[in-house]
């Protein structure tokens, strides 16, 4: 089976199990409506890569050939389990690599279910899921047979991974957390405040690009604040499996304290 056909099959399997994936994503507190968005976005990722052509290129006397790296280590965060895996897994498989995935120990269910769905479609050893805490991640990043690392998580761990990869001169990609600000000068206050609400409160604020600070032009500060307060008060806090809920519980006590 061609790799792009395989990615299309993965897309279809996620789509066929849409509701179950959404429930797994919501099982750690993410509101079900947001979980459904994550599953739909994951389907779109595999759809995109199933149509991407990465064949060799010929430009006059220059030939560009693509070769797989070999074994690639993927380490993902808790906040978007299926989507983060999709972003990393699809291009890794398309390029002909085998994958060792360590999902967050807090939210492994979506990835375990995905691996189980793909057992009969992928060659043995092509997609491997290892469970555990940071010690398992460390074993992956320092293993001599791993040729690349793709990591999503904290800046502290990202620095450690960069050092591990630098020692062996292997490529890596890092998507790390941040302390993000929204800077507001002027514009449509309704749209601005909608975007701030989404940036600050979606997924209970557990986003690497979530908004945690606002810098607002003095002349419109009070107007923006008034609209924000009205909209924030309307947000429903509650059961993540209730379609009306916008804010569910945080993933664990550590998230609550930090």
- Catalytic sites, residue numbers: 175
Q: DSSP state, 218? A: G
10 Å CB burial of residue 194 (0-12, 13-18, 19+) is middle
Task: Give the relative orientation of helices 81-94 and 3-16 as an angle to the nearest 10 degrees.
Answer: 160
Name which of 133, 78, 123, 62 is nearest 252 in CA terms: 78
Question: In angstroms, rounded to a whole number, what is the distance separating the alpha carbons of residues 230 and 178?
Answer: 27
Contact predicate 11/43, CB 8 Å: yes
Q: Which residues contact 72 (CB under 8 A, 6 or more apart)?
A: 92, 97, 98, 99, 100, 146, 147, 148, 149, 150
Query: Rounded to whole angstroms, how far apart are CA atoms 70 and 92?
Result: 9
Pairwise CA distance, residues 47 & 182, whole Å: 32
- Residue 236, token pair as written in the block: 């429903």
Helix axes 32-50, 3-16, angle to 10 degrees: 160
């Amino acid at each position: 089976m061609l790799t792009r056909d395989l990615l299309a099959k993965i897309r279809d399997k996620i789509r066929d199990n849409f509701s179950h994936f959404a429930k797994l994503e919501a099982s750690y507190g993410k509101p079900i409506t947001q979980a459904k968005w994550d599953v739909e976005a994951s389907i779109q990722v595999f759809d995109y890569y199933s149509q991407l052509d990465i064949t060799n290129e010929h430009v006059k006397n220059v030939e560009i050939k693509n070769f797989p790296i070999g074994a690639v280590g993927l380490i993902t965060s808790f906040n978007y389990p299926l989507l983060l895996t999709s972003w990393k897994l699809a291009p890794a498989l398309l390029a002909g690599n085998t994958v060792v995935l360590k999902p967050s120990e807090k939210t492994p269910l979506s990835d375990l279910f995905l691996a189980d769905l793909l057992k009969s479609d992928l060659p043995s050893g092509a997609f491997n899921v290892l469970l555990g805490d940071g010690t398992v991640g460390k074993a992956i990043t320092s293993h001599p047979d791993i040729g690349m690392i793709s990591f999503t998580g904290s800046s502290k761990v990202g620095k450690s991974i960069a050092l591990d990869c630098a020692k062996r001169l292997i490529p890596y990609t890092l998507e790390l957390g941040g302390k993000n600000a929204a800077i507001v000068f002027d514009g449509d206050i309704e749209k601005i405040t909608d975007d701030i609400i989404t940036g600050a409160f979606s997924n209970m604020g557990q986003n690497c690009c979530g908004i945690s600070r606002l810098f607002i032009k003095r002349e419109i500060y009070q107007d923006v604040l008034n609209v924000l307060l009205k909209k924030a008060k309307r947000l429903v806090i509650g059961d993540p499996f209730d379609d009306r809920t916008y804010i569910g519980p945080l993933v664990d006590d550590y998230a609550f304290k930090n």
